């Protein structure tokens, strides 16, 4: 019976609401840590954003940044993916799709996954970016997190990052529960021993999840955290 030792946790629209982290969410994060469950932040955000969050909240798990492109744990940084290919894709988007997207302020701090903010509705912008990049660079993929559009290699994803994080932390995959909301989290759900989708998750992710919360976003995470602490074993989710 695999004991839950860590939670791999998406950030935007999973522990945030309207882009902020509330005091009850901070309390739930610390409750997990006090309960012996390490919190692994797994996000499309750049490494400096996530390491700052990890430090000031007081989390003990690894950080998976850039949707798996960077993994950080106890001073060690592991870079995953081909930076030159990702940079070429970024330049292509900047040159051809300025009417639809603009670069994220985080891009100067990113390694192999580059982010864009939509100037039009995000579904249209993501479709335009996907059509352009994937038609010219077959090895690349385009994700929409619902917050930003991410461009990187198909071989780099949160699942790959979670495998590396587990190795650094000495965990088996079966000891980890993944929690998320978007298509970007699918690969992480397929690696973890168990998975929870918050109520606002996309249908594809809900179909993969062992549990779907009744509440959305931040309240959904708090529900998930309490559920994990009650169950303790991945096979019981």
Return the active site residues: 10
CA 42-210-39 angle, 5° bins: 30
First to last CA, the chain: 12
What span, in angstroms and rounded, lies between the C-alpha atoms of 194 and 184?
17
**Alpha helix locations (H) across the chain?**
23-34, 47-57, 83-96, 122-136, 158-169, 186-191, 203-208, 217-231
- Sign, CA torsion 194/72/186/27: positive
């Amino acid at each position: 019976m695999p004991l839950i030792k860590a939670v791999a946790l998406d950030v935007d629209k999973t522990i945030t609401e309207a882009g902020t982290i509330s005091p009850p969410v901070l309390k739930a994060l610390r409750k997990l840590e006090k309960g012996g469950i390490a919190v692994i932040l797994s996000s499309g955000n750049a490494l400096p954003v996530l390491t700052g969050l990890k430090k000031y909240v007081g989390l003990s798990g690894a950080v998976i940044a850039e949707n798996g492109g960077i993994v950080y744990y106890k001073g060690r940084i592991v870079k995953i993916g081909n930076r030159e290919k990702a940079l070429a894709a970024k330049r292509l988007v900047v040159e051809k799709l300025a009417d639809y997207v603009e670069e994220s302020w985080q891009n100067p701090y990113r390694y192999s996954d580059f982010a864009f903010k939509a100037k039009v509705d995000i579904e249209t912008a993501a479709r335009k970016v996907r059509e352009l990049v994937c038609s010219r660079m077959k090895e690349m993929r385009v994700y929409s997190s619902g917050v930003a559009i991410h461009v990187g290699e198909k071989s780099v994803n949160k699942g790959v990052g979670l495998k590396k994080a587990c190795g650094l932390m000495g965990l088996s995959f079966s000891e980890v529960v993944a929690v998320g909301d978007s298509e970007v989290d699918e690969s992480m759900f397929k690696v973890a021993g168990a998975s929870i989708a918050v109520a606002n998750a996309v249908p594809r992710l809900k179909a993969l999840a062992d549990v779907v919360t009744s509440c959305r976003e931040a309240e959904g995470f708090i529900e998930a955290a309490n559920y994990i602490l009650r169950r303790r074993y991945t096979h019981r989710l």
